[in-house]
Structure 1
Amino acid sequence: MAAHVAIAILYQENKFLMQLRDNIPNILYPGYWGLFGGHIEAGETPEIAVRREILEEINYELPQKFDEFGCYGDDRVIRHVFHAPLLVELDQLVLSEGWDMGLLTPEDISQGSCYSTVAGEVRPIGTVHQRILLDFMQNMNT
């Protein structure tokens, strides 16, 4: 049975906040850039889960109003995707899960990778996360 997760597209000045996932082999997309978020716990709605996960992972409280973008599923994971503006500077966030974080440009997302100062190298963007962001950028331009 597929796991349900809630993830957030957080954007600021045409850039998108992403997490460089820990480089440990037993997680999905180890060492890849991905969107912040996580598992929906029993009794939670996706909206409650995404608020909780973002607060836990980067100490950021989502704006009162944020919107659902869509749902992306495969055999292993059903991703409930939300979007909201990032209303604080990057240095005001506290990364408590993951290897690094950064504001990626549309060019980074299109090419599928981005340099991480913490990793000291270019790291790939998770395929499904790249597809979600490409869909989101296309949707913004229509």
Structure 2
Amino acid sequence: MTDRAAFAAIGALPERIEFEAAIVIARDSSDRILMQLRDDIPKIAAPGMWCLFGGGQEGQETLAQAAQREFWEETGVMLGPDELSPFARIATAARPDGVLYAYQSLRLLTPDAIKLGEGAGFAFLTASQIENLPVVRSSRLVIEHFFSQL
């Protein structure tokens, strides 16, 4: 089980946390970030926007297990527990009591490794490309923090 303090806090977090989700920062050898284009369906959160891959915990799974499962379901890539490193945590706009825990993938990926399972599309994007796209705020802040650490 990962100590939540291992994730650097970005901004203020809710006092009472009732929902936790895991997202993954994955990149390629050119330090481009793998992002998901969300389906453009009005009933889902952030339709038609770009974000990092990930999602909520199910049952008794740990945050790392949620990150592994969600990333596999959405990209077809199974990351081992030793390939995920705690990176940051941030409040989610989707719920006032929610926190996203971002893991950094230690494995470099290539576009041909991705078999999209959810969303309208994916891309490996540079920092300047991301600046000009509609990106979910929490993903944008995590990505900005990531690039500031390189």
Which TM bucket (shorter chain)? 0.7 to 0.9
Tell me which moved more, 5-14 or 74-83.
74-83
CA deviations on 1:49-69 (whole Å, 9 max, x unpaired) are 100111111110114332010
Q: Indicate how the Cα distance of structure 1 residues 72 and 25 shifts in structure 2: closer, same or farther if over 3 A, else same.
A: same
1:4 and 1:34 map into 2 onto residues whose CA distance is: 16
Q: CA deviation at 1:136?
A: 0.9
Q: Which amino acid aligns with 1:135?
A: H
Q: CA deviation at 1:112?
A: 3.9
Give the match for residue 72 of structure 1. Answer: 90
Give the match for residue 10 of structure 2. Answer: none
- Count of paired positions: 129
1:107 and 1:28 map into 2 onto residues whose CA distance is: 25
Matches within 5 A, 1:30-41: 30-41=47-58
Q: CA deviation at 1:2?
A: 4.4
Give the match for residue 130 of structure 1. Answer: 140
Give the match for residue 52 of structure 1. Answer: 69
TM-score under structure 1 length normalisation: 0.83
Give the match for residue 118 of structure 1. Answer: none
TM-score under structure 2 length normalisation: 0.79
Aligned residues of 1:34 and 1:126 also touching (Cα < 8 A): yes
Matches within 5 A, 1:1-142: 2-12=18-28, 13-63=30-80, 64-74=82-92, 75-109=96-130, 111-113=131-133, 124-140=134-150
Question: Which runs of at least 4 in structure 1 moved beyond 4 Å after TM superposition?
Answer: none
Cα RMSD of the aligned pairs, angstroms, is 1.6
Structure 2 unaligned blocks of 5 or more: 1-16
Tell me which moved more, 90-99 or 69-78.
69-78
Aligned residues of 2:86 and 2:104 also touching (Cα < 8 A): yes
CA deviations on 1:35-58 (whole Å, 9 max, x unpaired) are 001111120110011001111111
Aligned residues of 1:112 and 1:130 also touching (Cα < 8 A): no
CA deviations on 1:105-139 (whole Å, 9 max, x unpaired) are 11112x241xxxxxxxxxx1112111110011112
- Secondary structure of 2:26's partner? strand
Structure 1 unaligned blocks of 5 or more: 114-123
Which structure carries more strand by proportion?
A: 1
